[in-house]
Amino acid sequence: GNSVTQMEGPVTLSEEAFLTINCTYTATGYPSLFWYVQYPGEGLQLLLKATKADDKGSNKGFEATYRKETTSFHLEKGSVQVSDSAVYFCALQETSGSRLTFGEGTQLTVNP
């Protein structure tokens, strides 16, 4: 079956540091890949997505590239801010409209 594995957290960084959160996946087909962000006490917000190999999703300074050869979709940001502190979830969707399969989530804390 499908699965998503994220790097274990929590991750603590200083403001303006470089961020990488690793995400790898297992899927039978060619899924779409997503990063969602969850701020404390809130639902999930779509951060970025990529629907096919070599696509790069980007938003708010975050980016991730769909790497089929390594089955990865690592999230990166060049300079994090305190406001980026949240839980980040990597997810895959096998076909349009089907269920999302989530990773475990990675807690990011950015200190001033």
Partner 1 sequence: GAVVSQHPSWVICKSGTSVKIECRSLDFQATTMFWYRQFPKQSLMLMATSNEGSKATYEQGVEKDKFLINHASLTLSTLTVTSAHPEDSSFYICSAWTGGTGNTIYFGEGSWLTVV
State which residue, 97 or 112, has the beta carbon closest to partner 1. 97
49 near partner 1, judged by CB under 8 A: yes
Q: Quick one: which of 23, 19, 21 has its CA closest to 5?
A: 23
Which DSSP state fits 72?
B
The answer to whether 100 touches 89, Cβ cutoff 8 Å, is no
For residue 82, the minimal CB distance to partner 1 (Å) is 21
Distance in angstroms (rounded) separating the CA atoms of residues 12 and 29: 34
40 near partner 1, judged by CB under 8 A: no
62 near partner 1, judged by CB under 8 A: no
State which residue, 17 or 22, has the beta carbon closest to partner 1. 22
